[in-house]
Amino acid sequence: MSCSMRSSDPNISQFQPIIRQLNETAINQIAAGEVVERPASAIKELVENAIDAGASRIEVEYADGGKSLIQVTDNGCGIMADDLPLAMSRHATSKIDGSDLLNIQSFGFRGEALPSLGAVGKLTLTSRTAVSTGAELQVNGGKFSPVRPAAMQLGTRATLRDLFYATPARLKFLRSDRAEAQAIADVVKRLAMAEPTITFSLRDTGKDRMVFQVQSEQGDMFSALRGRLGQLMGRDFVVNAIAVDAEREDITLTGFAALPTYSRGAAVAQFIFVNGRPVRDKLLLGAVRGAYADFLSRDRHPAVALFVECDPSRVDVNVHPAKSEVRFREPATVRGLIVSGLRHALAEVGHRASTTVSNAALGAFTAQPQVQPRVYQMDRPGNTLGYSGLVETETMFDGQPSARIEEIPQLEAQHRPLGAARAQLHENYILSQTYEGLVIVDAHAAHERLVYEKLKAQMVEEGVRAQALLIPEVISLSDGDMALLLEQAGTLTQLGLSIEPFGRGAVVVQSVPAILGHVDVNRLVLDIVDELSDGGSSQSLQSRLDAILSRVACHGSVRTGRRMQADEMNALLREMEATPHSGQCNHGRPTYVSLAMADIEKLFGRT
């Protein structure tokens, strides 16, 4: 109770609070609460120390999810015997001299990790330098033992047993051994990504299992990083990722970003580094999300490994003791760099879609048990639509249907990436033959993307061209939907959609985007209302425009159930090849599947 809150009742004893200096053990235990949240936090601090020591090989071991044992061994520069007690002292470090906290060049710099670990567990530090013999220091719950000689190769070994034994209440907040082990693996993998030239190993000694081991990578930055990411994120990521290399105002962005069709159901494959330091920063993650907003639905997440490099004075890493968050001096510049850098890289890959799409398609083609004799094509009474090189088509754009059977002539188009159209299946899927195999195109999804890209290009140039309706269409709406729509009337006019109030509970549509042709105006407007309601007010203007354009594009695309002529199908394929991002629809789903002839022959047992 403070002095100002003391009772005036004479029967209650009066007292003056006494200010005390906490002892070193208590101070370190309090600090450990911020620095060492769980076993993974302890390993992170020890591995970062090893990297700062110039190690080329780092070995990490743990048992029981790190609760009973943590050990990190490196071949770095080591610690002199006389310096071991100082290294275990609070705020003692060799990383900085304290004169400039805005010029941090190392992972560690606060001098809190080792004393914090020694305060809450049983820590043994064994080390040897190139000019001295090995020495060892033990600290149990903050109590030091004398330094003694020890056999040790060049480098340092930190062994932490019984984490939180000195603060048992903290143990209750730890998760299962499996969950803690997963967190450890995640931390070590991030640090291994940051340093592809260092050899890392992670072993679960309790289960006598090597979790992962990666050798040092050679070559330039991109080749070394590609090799390391292939080992840690998987070969599929590397095959379906594109290199990112951008710069703005002396801030650089490098790394790899996966194609939109190689997305995940959760944000578990997003790794971002600032000056080599793994971070989980909302600004940076939000920028990644914004860069992919044009290509992924809200329930899908991109996979990236990105490195932001800038002068240390332009970023504050001393925001939190765990150093997992940063603060940039020019946050808008960094965000803009990530968004533009990723979008530029994605645009350069054109119509490409991820290989996992084709692999998944091949997996779906499984032989079924035969309950009746097979009926082969030559035994059928007649060819049916979709089983031959002939396709029944219908004129789509001149308004005069003319169904007929037409042989597709463009054999030379087989050498194009998406081949020559051979048939239309179920009035939506285009079957195309390439020189090396087969391509199946979702015509509606592909055309939706093409229309969307055209609308965006028109917006940039001069605004979407509008087509006035001969008879304006009146649409009834609830008061809330009507207010939401009219609030964005100016924005919608830029998109070629002119909407005005028409009495109570209704609006009148005077024009629609010309690119849509004949369109169900009522459905179009209701779709836009849904988008405005779903997007809310948190979206930026550009995000709202893109989201609305995406909805509009759906209404201008080839509808499922419409028969296409051969020249229309081939024109669609050629336009896809020339349009960036056409490998995925506006929601991140693939627009086509490519199957190699060799894989098709395997399905039929032909080798």
pLDDT score for 358: 62
Give the tens place of pLDDT for each residue, 445-476: 898 888 888 888 888 887 888 889 989 999 99
Sign of torsion over alpha carbons 148, 151, 156, 159: negative
Q: How many CA atoms lie within 13 A of 247 on its CB side?
A: 4
- 387-607: CATH homologous superfamily? MutL, C-terminal domain, regulatory subdomain (3.30.1370.100)
pTM of the model: 0.69
| pLDDT above 70: residue 383 | no
pLDDT score for 162: 92
As a whole number, the mean pLDDT across the chain is 81
Least confident residue range of 57-71, 233-247, 342-356: 342-356
- CA-CA-CA-CA dihedral for 588, 593, 596, 600, to nearest 10: 130
Q: How many CA atoms lie within 13 A of 239 on its CB side?
A: 12
Give the tens place of pLDDT for each residue, 81-127: 998 988 887 655 544 344 444 544 545 444 577 888 888 889 999 99
Please, where are the H alpha helices in 78-220?
84-87, 113-120, 177-194
Q: What is the mean pLDDT of residues 224-228?
A: 95
Give the tens place of pLDDT for each residue, 317-339: 766 656 677 889 899 999 999 99
Range picked from 101-110, 206-215, 403-412, 501-510 for highest mean pLDDT: 206-215
Confidence category of residue 176, pLDDT binned at 50, 70, 90: very high
Q: How many CA atoms lie within 13 A of 471 on its CB side?
A: 3
| pLDDT above 50: residue 371 | no
Query: In CATH, what is the architecture of 24-214?
Result: 2-Layer Sandwich (3.30)
Q: Name the residue type at position 172.
A: K
| pLDDT above 70: residue 217 | yes
Give the tens place of pLDDT for each residue, 491-537: 888 888 899 999 888 999 999 988 887 888 888 888 888 878 775 54
Give the tens place of pLDDT for each residue, 526-584: 888 887 877 554 455 667 677 788 888 887 776 667 788 888 899 999 999 988 888 88
| pLDDT above 60: residue 419 | yes
pLDDT score for 260: 86
Contact 141, 25 (CB under 8 A): yes
pLDDT score for 397: 38
Q: Which residue has the higher pLDDT, 362 or 303?
A: 303
Residues in the chain, overall count: 607
pLDDT score for 531: 79
Q: Which residue has the higher pLDDT, 281 or 107?
A: 281
| pLDDT above 80: residue 249 | yes
By C-alpha distance, which of 563, 571, 572 is closest to 393? 563
The strand pairing partners of 60, in sequence order, are 72, 202
**Token couple for 461:** 């140039």
Domain spans in the chain, listed from the N-terminal domain onward: 24-214, 221-348, 387-607
Angle at 46 between CA 45 and CA 49, to 5 degrees: 90
| pLDDT above 80: residue 164 | yes
Question: What's the rounded Cα separation, in Å, for the pair 137 and 476?
Answer: 80
Least confident residue range of 25-39, 295-309, 428-442, 514-528: 25-39
pLDDT score for 251: 94
Give the CA distances from residue 470 to residues 176, 399, 437, 467, 590, in Å, rounded to whole numbers and listed in that order: 68, 18, 48, 9, 37
Question: What's the rounded Cα separation, in Å, for the pair 115 and 90?
Answer: 6
Q: What is the mean pLDDT of residues 249-255?
A: 95
Q: What is the mean pLDDT of residues 36-54?
A: 91
pLDDT score for 246: 94
Question: What's the rounded Cα separation, in Å, for the pair 393 and 405?
Answer: 7
Least confident residue range of 31-35, 108-112, 400-404: 400-404
Q: Which residue has the higher pLDDT, 377 or 356?
A: 356
DSSP 217: P
Q: Which fold has domain 221-348?
A: Ribosomal Protein S5; domain 2 (3.30.230)
pLDDT score for 587: 77
The strand pairing partners of 63, in sequence order, are 69
Q: What is the mean pLDDT of residues 250-269?
A: 90
pLDDT score for 113: 77
| pLDDT above 90: residue 198 | yes
